[in-house]
Each structure stands twice: as structure tokens, then as C-alpha cells.
DNA sequence: CACCATGTTCCTTG
DNA sequence: CCAAGGAACATGGT
């Protein structure tokens, strides 16, 4: 369930639930997800520590914690990879098959589960320090964006996945932003003109903001077992299905473009699917 | 069996 | 040193 909007919605959900809760015990069921932190180190730092807050940077979750009797706080870094989930569940509730880390909080437990184990929950925060600007920050502006694009011959769609360019855009919202900006995903990054850079800058913000708004509005079930193609969160049974109105091009191969009715095309770039409308997003023009 | 999947990192090549 | 491409990681759905 990754990409910035999903992480943002999750962080807003977890923040009040975790605030001031202390970790009574730590269970690491899959050591790879805490790497490169060692098991002993991980347990020593977390056991007894209290959650002060939760924030987001790109697709990362930053848990601020403080050890008992200490005035210094430290950061636990989370990432959901492709299939990660983080949620609170009642104490002794059945653990999912791929529960990777479980933190006992008293009446409740914090569960990080991840089917493919591509995600992380670690004390090594170096990955988050290499990220580019947050999409809603002043640091992400058209001139700086243009400058960053100007040195790359890569297709703009591929370049958007580079987290040092702008943090948080993933495979879904890269296609969505390019559709909104009416720019071909195959256009080399350095070929975008000033107007296109402006449109793309705006489209990225709009695609992400709209998704956050959507995720904040719809009832979500964070501990869900199954993905539902909606937010990749679980959803309450019977909740209305807004999926058809949510994503404009992603996963819509052969379906009519919402703007011009031409069939949406799927291409592969750097071994990943890209969806676009060949008429609204022409290679030239 | 084949192909697909929301991500990042490491290794190689130019 | 840098940019770019591809494999690897691990599991499940269709």
C-alpha cells in the first residue's frame, strides 16, 4: 500500500493511537526487515520506549520515541515496501501469517506485517536522508524541478520514480500526474519545456493531494487481511466503491480515456507498467 | 507454467 | 564520479 498518499493517511491514523504508548516487549519475526540494525540493538532501544509522535517523509514513516528516564528522543524508520501494513490490534489478537515485527503496548499491540518483506522497520534512518524535496514543500518548485530534470535523458515517467528528484511519487501516481499534465511518459526528462514543467509540478501536487483527500474521506480498515484495489488498505464491507472515480489512467488499459474516450495504453518502461492516453499525451505536440 | 504486482538497493556497463 | 539499465529481494494472485 505504499506511495505518499497512502503513507500520509496511515500516519494520520496512527499518530493519535500511538501517542504516549510505551513498548512493553518486542518480537522480531523476520530479521531482514530491521536490517541493518541488529536484533539485540533493536530490542534494547525499543523496549520500554514511549511513542512521542509519528511523521512522514516521502514514503517513509518516522516514529519518534523516547527511552524511559531519557530526555533525548530517537527515530524509528518505517517503510511499507510493496505489501506492508502497520496497525494496532487488541492484545493477543491472531497475528497475520507474515507479521514481521510485533510491539506489545499493553492492551494493544502494534503490528507490522509485510507479505513480501520488502519494507523496513529500522533504526537506520540514512535512507530517508537521501530523499529529494517533499512535494508540498517550497523546496519543490518549478525552477528547481526544471533544473533537476535538465540533466536527465531518461523518460520522464522513469525519472519521476527517482526519490531524489521529489519524494513520494511511485508507479501509480507517476502515471496519474503525467496524464493530468498531458505529457507523454516517454518524453526524455530534459526535453520538457518550461510550461510542461509547470504543469507537471502542479499535476504531481494535485494527484497526491486528491488521493490524500480521498483516503481521508473513505472509511478504511487498516488491519484488513486483503487488498481491495482501493487504497490497498482494507475497507469496511459494504463501503461504497469509489475506485472507478479514483485513478484516471492507472490500470485502465483499453478502457476509454476519461477526457477523450480513446483507449488507454499500457507500455513497459524500466520493467514497470505505465498507463497513458496516446491522444491526450502525445509524444510530440 | 506464465506473467503480473504500490519499492528500493546493489551491481554492472558505458 | 555520474547516469542508466537490469537483476535481486519474496510472496501471492490471476
In this prediction, residues A94-119 reach a mean pLDDT of 97
Q: In which domain, by residue range, is A198 found?
A: 142-214+247-276
- Flag residues 11-50 of A with CB < 7 Å from strand C: 32
Gap between the Cα atoms of A170 and A118, Å rounded? 15
Q: Identify whether residues A9 and A82 lie together within a single domain.
A: yes
Q: What is the pLDDT of residue A135?
A: 98
CATH number, domain of A18, equals 3.20.190.10
Q: How confident is the model at residue A245 (pLDDT cuts 50, 70, 90)?
A: low
- The answer on pLDDT for A234 being more than 70 is no
Question: How many Å apart are A161 CA and B12 C1'?
Answer: 21
A270 touches strand C (CB under 7 A): yes
For the stretch A6-39, pLDDT in tens is 999 999 999 999 999 999 999 999 999 999 999 9
| Average pLDDT along chain A | 92
What spatial distance separates the first Cα and last Cα of chain A, rounded to whole Å?
Answer: 35
Shared domain for A121 and A148, answered yes or no, is no
Q: Determine whether the distance from the CB of A268 to the nearest atom of strand C is below 7 Å.
A: no
Is A272 part of the annotated catalytic residue set? yes
Whether any strand C atom is under 7 angstroms from the Cβ of A147: the reply reads: no
Same domain, yes or no: A146 and A272 = yes
- From A107, A129, A151, the end of a domain falls on A129
Q: Is residue A29 part of a domain?
A: yes
Q: Is the pLDDT of residue A242 over 80?
A: no
Residues within 7 Å (Cβ) of strand B: A 1-3, 6, 58-59, 79, 81-83, 116, 118, 127, 130, 161, 163, 170-172, 227, 232, 268, 272-273
| Mean pLDDT calculated for residue range A222-240 | 56
Q: Classify residue A174: in a domain, yes or no.
A: yes
Give the strand pairing for A108-114 and A99-104.
antiparallel
Within a domain: A221: no
Share of chain A above pLDDT 90, in %: 86
A223 in any annotated domain: no
- Is A2 catalytic? The answer is yes
User: Looking at the domain assignment, is residue A99 inside a domain?
Assistant: yes
Residue A54 grid cell = 509519528
Task: Indicate if A153 and A76 belong to the same structural domain.
Answer: no
Q: Is A50 in the active site?
A: no
Query: Between A235 and A101, where is the model more confident?
Result: A101
Are both A178 and A113 inside the same structural domain?
Answer: no
Task: Examine the domain organization and report whether A10 and A54 are in the same domain.
Answer: yes
A278 has pLDDT over 70: yes
Find, among A124, A142, A102, the residue nearest to A223 by Cα: A102
- The residue from A65, A98, A129 where one domain ends is A129
Residue A93 carries which DSSP code? P
Beta-strand relationship, A234-235 and A120-122: unpaired
For A34-75, the pLDDT digits (tens) are: 999 999 999 999 999 999 999 999 999 999 999 998 999 999
Residues A77 and A189 in one domain: no
**CATH code for the domain in which residue A258 is found:** 1.10.8.50
A97 and A189 within one domain: no
Indicate the residue among A69, A104, A129 that finishes a domain.
A129
- Distance measured from the CA of protein residue A151 to the C1' of nucleotide C3, in angstroms: 9
| Domain count of the fold of chain A | 2
- The residue lying closest to nucleotide C3, measuring its CA against C1', is A152
Annotated catalytic, A104?
A: no
* Co-location of A186 and A123 in the same domain: no
Distance from residue A115 (CA) to nucleotide C10 (C1'), in Å? 8
A58 and A14 within one domain = yes
Pairing of strands A265-269, A272-276: antiparallel
Q: How far is the CA of A86 from the C1' of B10 (A)?
A: 27
Tell me if A112 is assigned to some domain: yes
Kindly report the pTM of this predicted structure.
0.95
Give strand pairing partners of A55: A62
Q: Which residue has the least CA–C1' distance to nucleotide B7? A: A81
pLDDT for res A229: 46
Q: Are residues A108 and A210 in the same domain?
A: no
Percent of chain A exceeding pLDDT 70 equals 92
> Protein A172 CA to nucleic acid C4 C1', in Å?
22
Residues A64, A160: one domain?
Answer: no
Does nucleic acid strand C have an atom less than 7 angstroms from the CB of A118?
A: yes
The residue with greater pLDDT, A41 or A218, is A41
User: Would you say residue A136 lies in a domain?
Assistant: no
Strand B bases contacted by the protein (CB, 7 Å): 4-9
* Nearest nt to the A188 alpha carbon by C1': C4
Q: CB count, 10 Å around CB of A142?
A: 15
Asked whether residue A198 is domain-assigned, the answer is yes
Answer whether any strand C atom is within 7 A of the Cβ of A158.
yes
Amino acid at each position: 500500500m505504499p506511495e505518499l498518499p497512502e503513507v500520509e493517511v496511515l500516519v494520520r491514523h496512527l499518530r493519535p493511537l500511538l501517542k504516549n504508548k510505551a513498548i512493553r516487549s518486542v518480537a522480531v519475526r523476520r530479521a531482514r526487515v530491521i536490517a541493518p540494525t541488529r536484533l539485540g540493538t533493536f530490542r534494547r532501544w525499543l523496549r520500554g520506549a514511549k511513542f512521542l509522535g509519528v511523521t512522514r517523509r516521502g514514503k517513509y514513516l518516522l516514529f519518534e520515541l523516547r527511552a524511559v528516564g531519557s530526555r533525548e528522543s530517537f527515530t524509528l524508520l518505517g517503510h511499507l515496501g510493496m505489501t506492508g501494513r502497520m496497525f494496532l490490534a487488541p492484545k493477543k489478537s491472531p497475528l497475520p501469517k507474515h507479521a514481521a515485527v510485533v510491539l506489545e503496548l499493553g492492551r494493544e499491540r502494534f503490528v507490522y506485517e509485510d507479505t513480501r518483506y520488502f519494507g523496513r522497520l529500522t533504526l537506520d534512518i540514512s535512507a530517508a536522508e537521501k530523499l529529494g524535496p517533499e512535494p508540498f514543500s517550497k523546496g519543490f518548485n518549478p525552477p528547481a524541478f526544471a533544473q533537476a530534470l535538465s540533466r536527465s535523458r531518461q523518460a520522464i515517467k522513469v525519472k519521476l520514480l527517482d526519490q531524489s528528484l521529489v519524494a513520494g511519487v511511485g508507479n501509480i501516481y507517476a502515471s496519474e500526474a503525467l496524464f493530468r499534465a498531458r505529457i507523454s511518459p516517454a518524453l526524455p526528462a530534459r526535453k520538457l519545456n518550461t510550461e510542461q514543467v509547470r504543469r507537471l509540478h502542479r499535476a504531481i501536487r494535485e494527484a497526491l493531494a486528491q488521493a490524500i483527500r480521498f483516503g481521508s474521506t473513505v472509511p478504511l480498515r487498516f488491519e484488513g487481511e486483503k487488498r481491495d484495489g482501493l487504497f490497498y488498505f482494507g475497507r469496511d464491507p459494504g463501503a461504497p466503491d469509489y475506485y472507478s472515480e479514483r485513478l484516471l489512467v492507472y490500470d485502465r488499459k483499453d478502457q476509454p480515456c476519461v477526457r477523450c474516450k480513446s483507449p488507454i495504453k499500457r507500455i513497459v518502461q524500466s520493467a514497470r507498467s505505465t498507463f497513458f492516453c496516446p491522444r491526450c499525451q502525445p509524444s510530440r505536440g
